[in-house]
Amino acid sequence: MPKPRKQQVSLDATPYYHCVSRCVRRAFLCGTDHLSGQCYEHRRGWLEDKLLSLPEIFAIDIAAYAIMSNHYHVVLFIDARRAKAWSDIEVIERWHHLFKGNLFSQKFVKGEKLDHAQRARLQIYIEEWRSRLSSISWFMRVLNEAIAREANIEDGCSGRFWEGRFKSQALLDEAALAACMAYVDLNPVRASISKTPEASEYTSIKRRCDAAKKSTNPNHKAQQVETLHPFVGNPRQNIPQGIQMKLTDYLELVDWTGRILRHDKRGDISKSTENILARLGIDDSQWLEMTECFEECFRTFAGGEQSLRAACETLNYKRP
C-alpha cells in the first residue's frame, strides 16, 4: 500500500525530490498517435510553460525536467526559508494567482478592515496557504490539473488524464541528486528521440546548454537560466543556495554518461569527470546502474547508505 505523501517528504532529510507523472487511458501527453495520425507535440509547450511559471508563485524551484510522450520527470527543490520569509500579504497575493481565496482574503487585499475574529481566522488560512505554497503535492496538483483541463477540452472528453498519484523520490545527498538529474536529462537520448543532450527539446539540459553558449562565464549564478535552480560551484564557506557543483562539470558528467549508455560506443572517463565523481563520493561502477534505471534502483528515497539510514531514523522507518 502506498505511503502517505507526508511520510515521504522530510525537509530535515532533504529539500530535493524527483517526481514523475504519467498519463492514463490511451491519451497522449505529447508525441504523435500513429493510429489516428493526431499530433500532440504542442502539449509539450503547454506543460513546459506552466512548469517553469509555477516557481514564480511557489517556494519551489526546478532543478531538472524532461517532457516525454506519455509522462514527464521533474526534480524539485523546496525552498522552505523563502516561504517563511513571505509577509502575510505576499502569501495571499501568491495564493490568489492560483485560487480565489475567500471573503476575508479578498477584503484584506482591498485594504478593508477586518475585526479581531476575522483577522484571526484569516491568519489560519494564511499559514495553511504558506504551507501549500511550499508543498510538492500542491505544486504537482496545480500543474497537472491545468494540463488535464486543456487536454480534455482538446480531446472532447472528461475524466482523468493523469494517474491518480504521482511518484516521488527523496534525493538524500549530492550523489543521488546528480545521478537523478542526469537520469532525467538523458531521457530523450535513451529513448532515441535525440542524439545529444543539447538537442533534446523540452528538457532542462537544453535550456542550460543554450544559456551556457551565450554566457561569458556559464558557472556564474547570474548568467544561468533564471527559471531553473542554479549551480553554485564546489562546496565552500558562505556558499549561496543552489546545486553544489559547477555547471560545466555537470554538463561534462551528463555528456560522459550519455556516451557510456550508448550500445555502440564506450568512452573513457575524462580526468574532469573522475574528479567530480570522487568529490561526490560516487563509485563509478555503480554510476551507470543509477543513471540508466534510477527509478528501479530506488523507491521512496535515493541516496548513499549513510543518507538512507539517517532519513529512516528521522522518519522512524523500520526494516520490514
pLDDT in tens, 209-249: 888 888 888 888 888 999 999 999 887 778 888 999 988 88
- Does residue 203 contact residue 47 with C-beta atoms inside 8 Å? no
The pLDDT value recorded for residue 95 is: 97
The pLDDT value recorded for residue 6 is: 59
In this prediction the pTM is: 0.82
- 281: pLDDT confidence band, cut at 50, 70 and 90? low
Radius of gyration in angstroms for the set of CA atoms belonging to the chain, rounded to a whole number: 21
**Which pLDDT tens digit goes with each residue over 1-44?**
456 655 566 776 789 999 999 987 556 666 666 676 777 788 88
- 3-state secondary structure (DSSP) of residue 201: coil
Rounded (10°) angle between helices 42-53 and 136-155: 150
Report the half-sphere exposure of 318 (CA within 13 A, side-chain side): 1
**Which pLDDT tens digit goes with each residue over 90-120?**
999 999 999 999 999 999 999 999 999 999 9
Sole residue written with cell 534525493: 171
**Vertex 176: Cα angle to 171 and 182 (nearest 5):** 110
